[in-house]
């Protein structure tokens, strides 16, 4: 049990990578608070996790709204009687548009959900971690934050910002025995990417193109990312 006695807040926990991380963290002994804006899917995910005999509560949370983030962190403290030890910042949304056609509203929405939310969640768990003199924050970014693909300037900017934020916070909070890391996956089989495949005229071709981009010859699964997040979250 690599997370025995720890409280983990996982955002975007209703599906995809977030759900995979929440399930694995719970299986490894963590008491999990699963946060997501999708209440129906979030409650179902929490129920599925509890069915394995592990601890999990769901908190409906729009992580782009500071008051709701603060409420989620407080709910974890109230439910489990201790501060959050592990934060998995997973929430991310995407929208396709080249820069010259991109509406400012869409730019702001992607930056707020993908980047600002990670700052807000970290802001509100850090005091408890600093007091406990331990903690781990794992931010999920993307290879797009390193390379940038056509049609996604706002997504790439948000994910690049996550990488820079992670580096800065890692330096600042190491003195408090708090580790801050990020994982930059390639294409992962999440509901968001499934929706992309459903929108294009030739989904099989796009899927094969995604597979060719990855040295393993396949796209990732949520559990692939979850194992990396577990390693970064635990004392190993």
What are 198-213's pLDDT values in tens digits? 888 999 998 998 899 9
**Average pLDDT for the chain:** 96
Q: Residues 155, 169, 182, 207: which is the catalytic one?
A: 155
Q: Active-site residue 155, yes or no?
A: yes
**Segment 49-96, tens digit of pLDDT:** 999 999 999 999 999 999 999 999 999 999 999 999 999 999 999 989
Q: What is the pLDDT of residue 206?
A: 87
User: Which is more confident, 148 or 40?
Assistant: 40
Residue 154: pLDDT band (50, 70, 90) is very high
Q: What average pLDDT does this structure show over 103-123?
A: 98
List all residues 6 or more positions away from 182 whose beta carbon is below 8 Å from its beta carbon.
138, 139, 140, 141, 162, 163, 166
pLDDT(192) > 90: no
Structure tokens at 44: 């179902």
The tens digit of pLDDT for each residue in 1-25 reads: 999 999 999 999 999 999 999 999 9
Residue 191's pLDDT is: 83
Position 26 confidence tier, pLDDT thresholds 50, 70, 90: very high
Q: How far apart are CA 113 and CA 89, in angstroms?
A: 11
Q: Among all chains, which residue has been given the structure tokens 């700052």?
A: 119
With a cut of 90, say whether residue 197 has pLDDT above it.
no
d(CA 185, CA 188): 7
Of the candidates 232, 107, 125, the residue with the CA atom closest to the CA atom of residue 181: 232
* Average pLDDT value for residue range 131-150: 96
Looking at per-residue pLDDT, the higher value among 148 and 101 belongs to 101
């Amino acid at each position: 049990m690599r997370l025995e006695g720890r409280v983990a807040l996982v955002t975007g926990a209703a599906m995809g990578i977030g759900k995979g991380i929440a399930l694995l963290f719970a299986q490894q002994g963590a008491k999990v608070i699963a946060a997501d804006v999708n209440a129906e899917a979030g409650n179902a995910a929490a129920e599925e996790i509890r069915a394995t005999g592990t601890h999990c509560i769901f908190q409906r949370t729009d992580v782009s709204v500071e008051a709701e983030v603060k409420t989620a962190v407080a709910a974890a403290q109230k439910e489990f009687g201790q501060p959050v030890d592990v934060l998995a910042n997973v929430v991310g949304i995407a929208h396709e548009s080249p820069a010259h056609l991109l509406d400012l509203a869409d730019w702001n929405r992607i930056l707020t959900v993908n980047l600002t939310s990670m700052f807000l969640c970290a802001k509100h768990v850090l005091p408890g971690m600093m007091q406990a003199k331990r903690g781990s924050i794992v931010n999920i970014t993307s290879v797009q934050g390193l390379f940038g693909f056509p049609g996604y300037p706002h997504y790439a900017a948000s994910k690049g910002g996550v990488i820079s934020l992670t580096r800065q916070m890692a330096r600042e909070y190491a003195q408090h025995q708090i580790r801050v890391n990020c994982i930059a996956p390639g294409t992962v089989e999440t509901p968001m990417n499934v929706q992309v495949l459903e929108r294009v005229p030739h989904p099989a071709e796009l899927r094969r193109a995604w597979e060719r981009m990855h040295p393993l010859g396949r796209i990732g699964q949520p559990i692939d990312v979850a194992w990396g997040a577990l390693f970064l979250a635990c004392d190993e």
